[in-house]
Each structure stands twice: as structure tokens, then as C-alpha cells.
Amino acid sequence: MQIQHQKVTGLSGNEIYCLNRLGMRAGQLCVGNSVVAIGLTGGIGAGLSTLGGGEVSEITQLVREGRIRAYDRMMNEARQHGGVGLAGVSFDLINHGTNIEFVTIGSAVHKEQGQETLQFTTSADVQQLYCQMDSGFQPIHFVFGNVAYSIGLGGNILGALKRLGRGEISEYSEIFDKTRHLALSRIVDEAKKCGANSVIGIETTISPLLGAQEMIMVGTASKHETLAPYASEPVTSDMTNEEMWNMANMGYLPLRLVMGVSVYSLGLKGGIFASLQSIGGGEVTGLTEILYEAREKALGRIEADAEKCGADAVVGVKTRVYDLGGGLVEFMAIGTAVKKFPGVTTKNDALPPQAIIVDRETMIDSTDGIISLDRSSSSSARRLQQGPIAMVAAVIFFIIYLLKFLSH
């Protein structure tokens, strides 16, 4: 494809200022895309996979390959423009009827002087990149890990029996915990391939996709001299880059992104009492207790993970509660285990304001038909779990149609 734009950058004024502080200048906005369709055969395979629960490998692989093709095309464009790096690399997904378009976007950066070869790609925008590099991290490669998964029909049947009683439903907890850690293990594997000892600035997105739900983690595979002993198993962090700079300034570095998941049922008896209490008003004690227990279980699990890796604390903990319907709730906790290292600090004592200013949106469009490319968006698990039912219905419809066709 012929490149038309020659002087267009996706970098803001604040980012360009930070680039100047790093001895670099802004380059071209680079884009790559790939449009894919799941196809009839893939749809049937994915539908059958959702019945069993756990990872829906057909969807995982389909979207992974689509993203890689889009990424490779962006990189080809970046090599034509030149530069030493590509910053702000991100994935977007747009539905076009029965097709899905994967879009990858990044902005080239150049050295002020000297010969240039592409040395790094990063998910960090330039403000975040400044924080990373001032903390002693050298970016190497944009990396991601994803998993598409479903509770499955089998899990729903078993869960339906167990939800009659009150407490944690271990089968659900195991499915959610295992699949979410798959995404983490895959981003770590990508970091190993490029010789990194850390993956920093990890962003996690959970969203509905092709009748299942997908969890994707994106981040930057990097190197830090102090973390050299962790080269065999790169450290992981979902701290914001500004948070990481502050921690590094005090001598702390990340060790591991830790997650805890717990799925609880109010139980048939508890559900009836909760409904009666809701009618009467006041505190719904059954629901209060179960949500408290679910939180304690999930937080206990991330604390145990942190102790295993020798961390001093878990920071930046985010919590999410998902209503799965039918009296089931899932509680997820995610954070970063950190440890204090002697001699660790930042290159500078303070960050420039331009590195922490959040750029204000200057175009607001609320008209119908606009396609949102917000990477932080997520939906409730109740809505997401309607996908397997739709997929199963499609499979049944196809089988009926095939039998009628063969009978003629």
C-alpha cells in the first residue's frame, strides 16, 4: 500500500516536550490493519468449545493472528518512515457487521542526530516512556497476551447445583482464575523471546468477543540492570508508569502482577431471605456477608502470591465485582507485588509537569453511529455470558439446516 501521509504524528504537545528531554523528536503516525471473519467452520468449533467452558482456543487464535497481521503491517510502515522507536502502540477492534477489523496504531520517534535503526516498540505513550526510562527501564518490544474464554454449559449445570448452597463455587473460581492467568503467562512468554527481564505498564481489558469474553494484556517488554537475576522469568507490573517512577524513586521495583479471583453464591435460602429483606428495606445482611467473604478470599490469594515471590507489599490494587446472574457474584483483585532494592532510584529527582499532565479531549462527538476505540472499556459478566447461548443456538440451527438439506 502506498503511504500518503508524510508529516502526521499522533503525539501531543506534552509528549513532544518529553521527547525533546529524551533527546528525540516526533515522527510519523503509523497504522496497520487486518479484517477477519470467523467463518462457518470456526463458528461451529468455537460454539462447541464454549459448551465445555474454559478457553475458547479457536477465538483466541483467530484474534491473536488478526492482531499480529495488523501489527506487522504497522511495522512495515514504520520502517519506511524510519526512526529509532515506535511509541504509544495500541490495539483497537472494530465490528463491521459479520467481520472484525483489527487496527494497530503507533507513532515513530527519531534521534536528534545520528543514523537510525528501529530499536524498540512500546505500548507507552511518550509521557509514560519518559517515566519508564527515568526509572531505569530500557524499552525493547511491545508485547501482548490474550485468552478468550467461557464458563460453559457444563460449568453452568454444575454451578446451578452448587449455587443452591451458600459460599464459594470453586469450579467457577478455577475457570476464571486459570484463564486470566493464561493471558499473563503468554505476555511473559513474549517478553522471554526478546530477552527482556520485565514487562511493565501492563493494561488489562476484558470485553465480549464472538460469543465469549476475552481478556487481553498489553505492555512493554523491558530491561532493568537491577532485575538481571529475573531474566529467566521476567517480572510483571500493572502499575501506571507514573506510579512506578514514584516507587523507583523510593527504591522499590516491581516483582509480579498478582491476581485473585473468587466466585460466590448467595444460595437458594439466602437468596429468598435477601429478597424479603430488600422488600422491607434496611441492610441486606446476607448479601453484605457474601460480598465481604468474596473480597477477603480474593485479597488473600494475591497476598499469598506476593509472599511466594518475596515481595514487601502489594500496591495499586484494583478490585472488580461482576454480577454473573442467578445469585452469583465474582470478585477479582489485581495489583503489583513490589520489593525494595538497595541503590535503586530514578535518574532525576522530579518529573517535569509535562510528563504527568493528562491531555484534555478537544473533540467531543456523541452522535449515533460513532465507533468507540476506548481501550479501557469493559462490560459486566452477566451480559458477556449471553454469548455461549447465542453460539449454541447457531450450532443447533446449522445442524437442523444440514439435516434438512441432506434429506432432499
CB 25 within 8 A of CB 112: yes
370: helix, strand or coil: coil
Mean pLDDT of all residues in 199-208: 92
CB 201 within 8 A of CB 123: yes
Q: Cell numbers at residue 142, please?
A: 511491545
Mean pLDDT of all residues in 183-187: 95
Q: How far apart are CA 105 and CA 67, in angstroms?
A: 11
pTM of the model: 0.80
Top-confidence residue, 172 or 266? 172
Residue 281: what pLDDT? 55
Q: Cell numbers at residue 281, please?
A: 428495606
Mean pLDDT check: name the lowest of 52-61, 110-119, 384-393: 384-393
Mean pLDDT check: name the lowest of 65-79, 246-260, 276-290, 333-347: 276-290
Mean pLDDT check: name the lowest of 113-122, 153-162, 306-315: 153-162
- Residues 111-142 pLDDT 10s: 877 667 889 999 999 999 999 999 999 999 99
Q: Cell numbers at residue 19, please?
A: 521527547
Top-confidence residue, 27 or 166? 27
Residues 6+ away with beta carbon under 8 Å from 337: 254, 255, 256, 257, 258, 302, 305, 306, 309, 311, 313, 314
Q: Predicted confidence band at 325 (pLDDT cuts at 50, 70, 90)? A: low
Q: Predicted confidence band at 403 (pLDDT cuts at 50, 70, 90)? A: low
Q: How far apart are CA 187 and CA 49, in angstroms?
A: 23
- CB-count burial class (<10 Å; 0-12, 13-18, 19+) for 185: exposed
Proportion of the chain above pLDDT 70, given as a percent: 73
Element (H, E) at 375: none
Dihedral (Cα; 227, 198, 25, 109), 10-degree rounding = 140
142: left (phi over 0), alpha (psi -120 to 50) or beta: beta
Q: Predicted confidence band at 397 (pLDDT cuts at 50, 70, 90)? A: very low
Measured CA distances, 171 to 144, 262, 327 (Å): 27, 10, 15
Q: How far apart are CA 169 and CA 108, in angstroms?
A: 48
Helix residue ranges per DSSP H, 113-169: 126-134, 152-162
Top-confidence residue, 95 or 124? 124
The mean of the pLDDT values for the chain is: 80
pLDDT higher than 90, residue 222: yes
Mean pLDDT of all residues in 1-28: 84
At which residue does the C-alpha cell 455461549 appear? Answer: 388
Q: How far apart are CA 334 and CA 314, in angstroms?
A: 9
pLDDT higher than 80, residue 395: no
pLDDT higher than 80, residue 42: no
Dihedral sign, Cα of residue 182, residue 184, residue 190, residue 193: negative
CB 92 within 8 A of CB 31: no
Q: Cell numbers at residue 91, please?
A: 490495539
Q: Predicted confidence band at 285 (pLDDT cuts at 50, 70, 90)? A: low
What residues does 203 pair with on adjacent strands? 218
Q: Predicted confidence band at 342 (pLDDT cuts at 50, 70, 90)? A: very high
